Amino acid sequence: MSMENIEEVGSFWTSQQRQGHPLHEISYRACFKPQLPSFFIDRYSERGDRILDPFMGRGTTALQAYLMGRKVAASDTNPLCEQLLRPRLSPPPIDLLTLTGIRERLSGMLALRSEPASRFFGASKTIGNSDACLKVFFHPRVLAQLISMKEWFARRKQEGCYDRLDDWIRMVSLNRLSGHSPGFFSVRTMPPNQAVSLASQRKINSRLGQTPPLRNLAELIYKKSKSLLRGGIAERQSASDSIRLATCRSHELSYLSDGSVDLVITSPPFLNMVDYAQDNWLRLWFLGVREDSVEFSVSSSLEAWRDFVRKTFIELARVVRRGGRVAFEVGEVRKGKVLLEQEVIKSLAGLPFKLEKIFINRQDFTKTSNCWGVANNKSGTNSNRIAVLKKI
């Protein structure tokens, strides 16, 4: 079959922002729109099938699959990812997510401490041994509240009473931790999918003549909760194994049995294009995780990237059933001069996968990178390139 027959070029889903279910509106660097997995879920699966994403990020594939009545499996090496996804698959009852309910839960958290701690609760190579330097982002009282929340979550987990409301509040707080509007806990900084360094934030504060303002955390958490749930909650699936989440490497999916997956929809890290450790350091601080304890996948060369992809496909060959498919989204890098789908094909030698189709989704669309002066179709990732492979 010639490449002309394999490639299909077009505009396969809407280019507009915020057109999916509101539950998707959680920020994470380099995530794709929910319309992408929706297209492949509808085309290559049926209700009740198991959909896997071994690079889950914010959980777009898994959440969309769940909303479409599929079983989900999702994992990532970053523990933050599971925390961002799990509460949205199983939100607490609506009557607990009222402003009163959130205030009551926060009152218990904030009673633990009135001033910032002198030490870091879970060490960090980024901020050292003191929380005090985080005052560059947060008003002192806000910082005190955040530290109290961190200690509350840790204590509740240790005592075995951490519940769905705790899980939801922590997820929303992670998303509201820092950002570029009054809807966030911090002073004005970069958009929430990219945390700047302490030194960079000092420069931003100096340039804008700003100091961290006092924020009402309960009202901000309630407002974001209300926004996320404005589209309703997905109907709960009856199967006890309908949701499987894990924190693990893409080539070590021990939480899945052989042949248990019907469709994989995923997007791996593109070479060394994104520094996930730097982008997530502040969220990992709030989660109580050292960023240097997380194994972020970074490949500095095409050869290393191919080896990384091949190891992933060896494991996918185990968990995907015969006749199942993998939709592997690789975008574009280096101004379109490197076609990563061709590198994916090279990595599959001797593995039981057959290339069926390469979808190239091209359209004029709104990029969040516009806020950094990166225009559409000029730089960064401007098209979706998805290789669809069938397990044979």
Coil, helix or strand at residue 355: strand
Distance from C-alpha of 164 to C-alpha of 138, rounded to nearest angstrom: 27
Model confidence pLDDT, tens digit, residues 126-138: 555 567 899 999 9
Distance from C-alpha of 295 to C-alpha of 277, rounded to nearest angstrom: 9
Mean pLDDT of the chain: 87
**Structural domain harbouring 272:** 3-79+233-281+293-391
Question: For residue 313, which of 54, 122, 13, 45 has the smallest C-alpha distance?
Answer: 54
Same-domain pairing of 42 and 162: no
Predicted confidence (pLDDT) at residue 125 exceeds the cutoff of 70: no
Same-domain pairing of 136 and 29: no
Query: 380: pLDDT confidence band, cut at 50, 70 and 90?
Result: very low
Give the global pTM.
Answer: 0.88
pLDDT in the model for residue 302: 87
Pairing assessment for the beta strands 7-10 and 353-362 based on DSSP bridges = parallel
Coil, helix or strand at residue 360: strand
Q: Which of 210, 228, 246 is the last residue of a domain?
A: 228
pLDDT in the model for residue 391: 98
Kindly state whether residue 51 falls inside one of the protein's structural domains: yes
Kindly state whether residue 287 falls inside one of the protein's structural domains: no
User: Average pLDDT of 16-38?
Assistant: 85
265: Cβ–Cβ under 8 A, 6 or more apart, which residues? Answer: 36, 37, 40, 41, 51, 52, 53, 61, 65, 327, 329
Predicted confidence (pLDDT) at residue 238 exceeds the cutoff of 70: no
Same-domain pairing of 38 and 126: no
Q: Which of 16-20, 117-121, 154-158, 271-275: highest mean pLDDT?
A: 154-158
Predicted confidence (pLDDT) at residue 46 exceeds the cutoff of 90: yes
Same-domain pairing of 222 and 307: no
Predicted confidence (pLDDT) at residue 113 exceeds the cutoff of 60: no
- Under 8 Å between Cβ of 31 and 85: no
Model confidence pLDDT, tens digit, residues 12-22: 766 655 568 99
Same-domain pairing of 145 and 221: yes
Distance from C-alpha of 40 to C-alpha of 315, rounded to nearest angstrom: 21
Same-domain pairing of 46 and 123: no
pLDDT in the model for residue 135: 96
Model confidence pLDDT, tens digit, residues 281-298: 999 999 999 888 888 777
Predicted confidence (pLDDT) at residue 32 exceeds the cutoff of 60: yes
User: Average pLDDT of 94-99?
Assistant: 93
Predicted confidence (pLDDT) at residue 334 exceeds the cutoff of 80: no
Q: Which residue has the higher pLDDT, 328 or 127?
A: 328
Same-domain pairing of 141 and 33: no
CATH assignment at residue 374: 3.40.50.150
- Under 8 Å between Cβ of 185 and 176: yes
Q: What is the C-alpha radius of gyration for the chain, rounded to an integer number of angstroms?
A: 21
Query: 156: pLDDT confidence band, cut at 50, 70 and 90?
Result: very high
Which stretch of 165-169, 181-185, 303-307 has the lowest confidence by average pLDDT? 303-307
- Under 8 Å between Cβ of 77 and 295: yes
Sheet holding 261-266, edge to edge: 7-10, 353-362, 383-391, 320-329, 261-266, 50-53, 71-76, 243-247
Predicted confidence (pLDDT) at residue 189 exceeds the cutoff of 70: yes
Model confidence pLDDT, tens digit, residues 352-375: 999 999 999 876 655 444 444 444
How many domains would you assign to the chain?
2
Kindly state whether residue 88 falls inside one of the protein's structural domains: no
C-alpha distances (whole Å) from 360 to each of 68, 91, 310, 348, 386 are 24, 35, 22, 20, 6
Q: Which of 228, 244, 271 is the last residue of a domain?
A: 228
Predicted confidence (pLDDT) at residue 45 exceeds the cutoff of 50: yes
Predicted confidence (pLDDT) at residue 62 exceeds the cutoff of 90: yes
Distance from C-alpha of 63 to C-alpha of 234, rounded to nearest angstrom: 9
Same-domain pairing of 51 and 167: no
Q: Which of 228, 252, 272 is the last residue of a domain?
A: 228
Looking at the chain, the whole-number percentage of residues with pLDDT higher than 90 is: 66
Q: Which residue has the higher pLDDT, 285 or 277?
A: 285
- Under 8 Å between Cβ of 294 and 77: yes
DSSP output for 48-93? T-EEEESS-TTTHHHHHHHHTT-EEEEEES-HHHHHHHHHHHSPPP
Question: For residue 47, which of 245, 244, 262, 316 has the smallest C-alpha distance?
Answer: 262
Kindly state whether residue 361 falls inside one of the protein's structural domains: yes
Same-domain pairing of 148 and 29: no
Query: 117: pLDDT confidence band, cut at 50, 70 and 90?
Result: very low
Quickly tell me which residue has 């059933």 as its tokens.
Answer: 321
pLDDT in the model for residue 123: 43
Question: For residue 177, which of 325, 23, 26 has the smallest C-alpha distance?
Answer: 26
Distance from C-alpha of 125 to C-alpha of 276, rounded to nearest angstrom: 15
Same-domain pairing of 216 and 261: no
Element (H, E) at 98: none
User: Average pLDDT of 201-216?
Assistant: 97
Kindly state whether residue 127 falls inside one of the protein's structural domains: yes
Same-domain pairing of 377 and 260: yes
Q: Which residue has the higher pLDDT, 248 or 369?
A: 248
pLDDT in the model for residue 118: 38
Same-domain pairing of 118 and 196: yes
Kindly state whether residue 22 falls inside one of the protein's structural domains: yes
pLDDT in the model for residue 331: 72
Q: Which residue type is seen at 306?
A: R
Model confidence pLDDT, tens digit, residues 64-79: 999 999 999 999 999 9
Kindly state whether residue 87 falls inside one of the protein's structural domains: no
User: Furthest-apart CA pair in the chain: how many Å?
Assistant: 68
Distance from C-alpha of 43 to C-alpha of 12, rounded to nearest angstrom: 12
User: Which residues, in sequence order, are bridge partners of residue 361?
Assistant: 10, 384
Kindly state whether residue 86 falls inside one of the protein's structural domains: no
Predicted confidence (pLDDT) at residue 2 exceeds the cutoff of 80: no
Question: For residue 193, which of 206, 207, 180, 208 has the smallest C-alpha distance?
Answer: 180
User: Which residues, in sequence order, are bridge partners of residue 327?
Assistant: 265, 388
Predicted confidence (pLDDT) at residue 341 exceeds the cutoff of 60: yes
